[in-house]
Amino acid sequence: MLARINFCIISVFTVSTSFAEVSRAQAEAAIERGINYFHSLSNRGGYVYSVTPDLSRRWGEGLLDENTIEVQPPGTPAVGMALLNAYNTTGSSIALNAAHDAAQALILGQNTHGGWQHTIQFDRPAGDMVSFDDDQTQSAISFLMALDQKVDDSELTAAINKALNLMKEAQLENGGWPHRYPSQGDYHDYATFNDEGINDCIRVMLEALQHYGRQEDEGVLLRAGRFLMISQLPPPQPGWAQQYNEFLRPAWARSFEPPSICPSVTLNNINSLLDLYIHIGRSEYLEPIPDSLKWIEGIRLPNGKWARFVELYTGKPLYYDRGRIRIDSLEELSEERRLGYGYQVDLRRKLDSIKQRHQQIIELGRDAYIARSDASPSVNTLENRISQLSTKVSAIFESQDSNGAWITKNDRFKKRTPGQLWQGDYEVADRISSRIFIDNIDILCEYVRLLDSRK
C-alpha cells in the first residue's frame, strides 16, 4: 500500500416530488441496507448490469448465464468503486468486505497478460485477449489500485503489478494503445480513441503515478502525451480521429466507422491534455487546445448537434451503414444503425465544461488551479450543494424497499436475441440495476460527507 487518491462520483437522480430532509443517520442506514442487499445478488463477489427481482434473468450487454459477471461499467469494477466510496465515507466494514469480494472476482478473471475482456465466465478459463474498449481493463485496474490503498493483500498487489506491466507492454510504439491486445491482425491493433480507450489508459496511468510514484509510469505517460500531440490533424481541421493505423493516418474500424475527424473524440483528448498538464506540468500540452476548441465550435450542425464523423477535407457529416455503405442523411440509415448508434451527438454541455476548465487553468495557472481544487468549499457553497442534493436523497431514501433494494418498475430496455443484431425492439420488466445502485450510493455518500463538513 502506498499513496492514496480520493474518488468522488456524482450522479443524477431526478424527481418532482418534495420530501422531508433525510438525516445523516438515515442516509448512512440506507447505504448499509443497500449494500447488504446488493451484495447478496453478487456472483463470487462480481456483478452484472441488472437482474429481475426474482433473480430469474440477468443482463449485461445481453442476457447472461449464472456463471458470468460483467467487467465493463457499470459492472463489477464500477460497483466496487461505489462500495469503496461507501467505506471511505462511513467506515463500514460491510462495504469494505463487499469491495474486497468484488476485487477477488476480478482477480479470478484476470487473464495471462494481466487484463480483462467484457465479461468473466467462471466456468471456463480466462481468454488470452485484453480489451481496452469501453473502460473494461482500465476500470478494473483503477478499482484494484484504489482498494490497494485501503487493504494489505499480497494477491491484490500481485494482480495490480501484473496489470500495470500490461499497460506498459501493450502501449504501441507511437505512444497510443490498441483496441485489443495482443495483435489481432486487423483494426483492433490500431491506436484507438473510440469510446475513450486511450483516454482511459491515460487516466489509469495518472492514478498509478499518484498512488505509487513509479518513474516508469511517468515514462508511459510522456509517450502517451507525445502521441496526443502528433496525432492531432493539421489546420483547418485540428481535431482527432477515432483510430489511427500504423502510418498515423485516420483509418477504418468497423464497417460503419470511417476514417474521419471526430468532435467528441477531440473533446476527450483536450481533457486528457489538461489532465497531463495538471499532473506533469508540461506547458506544450496546452498548445493544441485553442485551435481545436475553435474548430469544434465552427462545425456545429444546424440542429445544434455535432456529427460523430466529419469528413476529412470537406467538413461534411458522414453516415455509414454496415458494409461501408455511405448514406446521404441520417433519416436514410437502416433502423438498426439509426437507433443503435449515435451519428449525431449533443456536445454543448461537455464543450462548455471543457472550455471553462481550460480558461480557469490559463487564468489561474497550474499551481493556483490545483490549490483551488483541493480547497474546502465555502459555507454558502456547502449549504447550496446540500440543498441541491436534499430532494434527490429523500427520493432515494423513500424508494428503497424494506430489503434494501432499489427496483426500477417497468424498466424499458433493448430486446436482445443471441447471435442477432438488435432490431430496434424493446421489452419492459421490473429490474434491479447496477447503474441505479451506483448512482444512489454515490449520491448518499456525497450527502453524508457534506453533512459531516458542517461540523
* Residue type at 1 in one-letter notation: M
Higher pLDDT, 17 or 127: 127
**445 and 423, same domain (yes or no):** yes
In a domain, 28, yes or no: yes
Where is average pLDDT lowest: 163-177, 181-195, 253-267, 322-336? 322-336
The domain tally of the chain equals: 2
Q: Per-residue pLDDT tens for 102-134?
A: 999 999 999 999 999 999 999 998 889 999 999
- Among 373, 407, 425, residue at a domain's last position: 373
**120 and 230, same domain (yes or no):** no
The answer to whether residues 165 and 112 touch, using CB atoms and an 8 Å cutoff, is no
The secondary structure of residue 172, as a DSSP letter, is: -
Where is average pLDDT lowest: 19-23, 187-191, 231-235, 311-315? 19-23
Residues with Cβ within 8 Å of residue 432, at least 6 apart in sequence: 38, 41, 50, 51, 52, 53, 405, 406, 407, 408
Total residue count of the chain as it appears in this document: 455
**209 and 151, same domain (yes or no):** no
Torsion of the alpha carbons at 326, 310, 244 and 333, rounded to the nearest 10: -30
Range of the domain at 235: 183-373
Q: Per-residue pLDDT tens for 352-408?
A: 999 999 999 999 999 999 999 988 889 999 999 999 999 999 999 999 999 999 999
Q: Which of 189, 224, 190, 186 is nearest to 204 (CA)?
A: 224
Torsion of the alpha carbons at 428, 432, 438 and 442, rounded to the nearest 10: 100
The answer to whether residues 451 and 386 touch, using CB atoms and an 8 Å cutoff, is yes
CATH number for position 255: 1.50.10.20
**363 and 390, same domain (yes or no):** no
Average pLDDT for 216-232: 97
**306 and 446, same domain (yes or no):** no
The pLDDT value recorded for residue 19 is 55
pTM for the model: 0.93
In a domain, 154, yes or no: yes
Q: Per-residue pLDDT tens for 419-436?
A: 777 777 889 999 999 999
